[in-house]
């Protein structure tokens, strides 16, 4: 009888000790930042095709960085199959991944083959340049209506991104993004561009404008 009582007490003690051990609680899952962003405009995360423009703008304002410094020009349209087709251009693959991810969170299937990542392949090897006139204005667009972004000076290095309407979308020496007349740019390849800082600088001796 005493043996049976001892066995019962041992089992009870084991059960109490097991319950007394601290339980390992898994850390809370981190919330998806894209889902949080999407909920700002669609709390139920159900996207609507007629609001695609608003979704693109939401992403641009919150996650596409400063568009004065980084290229972002994206359009979205729903096709007959209900898929979203993206077109335009961006500068970084991370931007593409984030934008597609946002639209996926909203329930869209996305086709992004027409969305180009800059620099555009059509530029070829000469994707760099220098200003070859005394002044080359950089504009917000290649055509009117447009505003002046900055004034690029003679000899200023430029990083070319794409060509449109006789203008080149470039990063100026200060990093600003804008369209410069292609006629004002001396285009070179990467090797010639890399040699530029070590060679003699350009000095303007007379202004004929």
Is residue 52 domain-shared with residue 97, that is, in the same domain? Answer: yes
- Position 81 in a domain: yes
The tens place of each residue's pLDDT in the chain, 209 residues long, gives 445 444 444 444 455 444 444 444 444 444 689 999 999 999 999 999 999 999 999 999 999 877 789 999 999 999 999 999 999 999 999 999 999 999 999 999 999 999 999 999 999 999 999 999 999 999 999 999 999 999 999 999 999 999 999 999 999 999 999 999 999 999 999 999 999 874 555 566 666 66
Is residue 8, in this structure, part of any structural domain at all?
no
Q: Residue 5: inside a domain, yes or no?
A: no
Residue 103 lies in a domain: yes
What total number of domains does the chain contain? 2
Residues 129/170, Cβ–Cβ less than 8 Å: yes
**Are both 75 and 112 inside the same structural domain?**
yes
Peptide bond into 145 cis (omega under 30): yes
Of 86, 103, 118, the residue at which a domain comes to its end is: 118
- CATH no. for residue 41? 3.30.1340.30
Asked if 126 and 192 sit in the same domain, the reply is: yes
Q: Report yes or no on 24 lying in a domain.
A: no
CATH code assigned at 145: 2.30.30.40
Calpha distance 84→115 (Å, rounded):
12
Give residue 151's domain range. Answer: 122-198
Distance CA 68, CA 139 (A): 11
Distance CA 155, CA 157 (A): 6
Whether 84 is covered by a domain: the verdict is yes
65 and 109 fall within a common domain:
yes
For the entire predicted model, the pTM comes to 0.75
Domain boundary among 74, 101, 118: 118
Phi, psi of 26 (to 5 degrees): -65, 145
Residues 144 and 173 in one domain: yes
Among 118, 149, 172, identify where a domain stops: 118
């Amino acid at each position: 009888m005493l043996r049976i009582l001892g066995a019962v007490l041992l089992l009870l003690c084991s059960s109490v000790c097991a319950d007394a051990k601290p339980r390992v609680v898994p850390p809370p899952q981190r919330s998806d930042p894209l889902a949080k962003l999407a909920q700002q405009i669609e709390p139920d995360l159900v996207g609507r095709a007629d609001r695609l423009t608003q979704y693109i703008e939401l992403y641009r304002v919150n996650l596409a960085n400063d568009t004065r410094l980084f290229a972002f020009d994206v359009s979205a349209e729903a096709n007959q199959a209900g898929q979203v087709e993206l077109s335009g251009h961006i500068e970084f693959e991370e931007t593409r991944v984030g934008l597609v991810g946002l639209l996926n969170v909203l329930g869209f299937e996305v086709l992004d083959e027409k969305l180009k990542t800059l620099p555009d392949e059509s530029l070829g090897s000469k994707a760099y340049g220098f200003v070859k006139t005394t002044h080359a204005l950089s504009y917000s667009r290649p055509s009117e209506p447009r505003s002046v972004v900055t004034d690029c000076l003679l000899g200023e290095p430029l990083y070319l991104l794409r060509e449109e309407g006789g203008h080149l979308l470039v990063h100026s020496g200060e990093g600003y993004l804008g369209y410069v007349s292609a006629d004002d740019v001396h285009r070179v390849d990467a090797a010639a561009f890399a040699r530029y800082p070590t060679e003699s600088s350009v000095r303007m001796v007379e202004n004929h404008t």
